[in-house]
Each structure stands twice: as C-alpha cells, then as structure tokens.
Structure 1
Amino acid sequence: MTDRGEAVENEQGWAWECDSSRAWVLGDMGDDYQTLVSRIMDGLVDLAAMGIDPKSGSLYEDPAPMRLRTYEDEHLMVWYQTIGHRCRVYLKRVNL
C-alpha cells in the first residue's frame, strides 16, 4: 500500500477527506496515530472503489448507502461515510 494521504486519489479516482476539516477531526493527535489513520483510510478508499464494505460485503446492496460506518482495530476506531457519486470516503471521527 502506498502512502497517498488525504485528498490524493487512487487509480480509480477515489480519495478520502476529513469532514469538516483535518483540525476538527484529528485535532492534536500524535503523528503516529495520524499515520495510522491515514493508512486505514487509504485501505477503506481502496475497498470503496471496489464496492466493498469491510463489515457487510457489498456497498451496492446496502439499503442505506450514505449511512455513518465504523471500522476498528486494536488501536483505534474511525467513523466514516462513503459517498459513491463523489468517489469519496469522508472521515468523521476518530476514537483512540
């Protein structure tokens, strides 16, 4: 996986962005955690570009496609929203 970062599109034209701003979502979070968030978001963007939700499978069969979603690992939990017609995954919140 390459380090694309916020608002840098992948090969399919998808990207992720902080909603409403990077300062609002990430605040004074340490660099290590910001790097981890960026890598997780890059992965979620790659999945969204393929129409895959990490929990439920297909984004195409989701009855509420613009709902708020969560992804968690042993380090943090991210709240995000996938907007297909904009080719964007919006990061809403991060819980450490």
Structure 2
Amino acid sequence: MTLRGEGVENEGGWAWECDPSRLWVLGDMPAEQQELVAGVMEGLVDLASMAIDPKDGSLYEDPSPMRLRTYEDEHLMLWYQTIPHRRRVYLKRVNL
C-alpha cells in the first residue's frame, strides 16, 4: 500500500487532515505509529468518499453527519469528523 499522506486527495478529491494541527493531534508520536494512523485515516477517507461509515453504514442516512466519530482496533483509537461538503476527514485525537 502506498500512503497518500495528510492533505493528499484521492481520486474523488477527498483527503484527511489533522485538526487543529499535526503537532496538536500527533505531537511527538514515533514515525512508525504515525504511519499506522495515516493508513487508518486513508482507509476512512476512501470510505467517506463512497459515503460509508465503518460503524454505522451509509453517511446519506446519518441524522448528524458532522458529529465526532470514533474508530478503534487492537492498536489505536481515534476520533475524527467527516465533512462531506469540504471532502475532508479531520483527525481530532489519537490514543495508542
């Protein structure tokens, strides 16, 4: 898998960004862990570009489309926000 990186759009014009800043969200996290976060975020961007939420299904039927969402697996938990009109997924917080 080739990582696109923060702010790099996919074919549909979607990208992810740290909000309010990369330093605020990721701080001094080791590069290996930042790559893990980037991989998850790129997957969330690809799903958002297809109007899919990994937990709740279709983003078209979401009564609160701009709410704060969570994603977790055995390695991390992160909070993010999907903003369809900007074609962005904003990373708000990460717990490892």
| Cα-to-partner distance string for 1:32-60 (whole Å, 9 max, x where unaligned) | 11000000000000000000000000001
Partner SS, residue 9 of structure 1: coil
TM-score normalised to structure 1 length: 0.98
Give 2:33's aligned amino acid. Answer: Y
TM-score normalised to structure 2 length: 0.98
- Where does the alignment leave 5 or more consecutive residues of structure 1 unmatched? none
| Cα-to-partner distance string for 1:41-82 (whole Å, 9 max, x where unaligned) | 000000000000000000010000000000001000010000
Taking the TM superposition and a 5 Å limit, the aligned residue runs for 1:6-45 are 6-45=6-45
Counterpart in 2 of 1:52?
Answer: 52
Counterpart in 2 of 1:81?
Answer: 81
Does residue 62 in structure 1 map to residue 62 in structure 2? Answer: yes
Q: Where do 4+ consecutive residues of structure 1 move more than 4 Å?
A: none
Counterpart in 2 of 1:71?
Answer: 71
The percent of aligned pairs where both chains have the same amino acid is 78
Give 2:55's aligned amino acid. Answer: K
Give how far 1:2 is off. 2.5
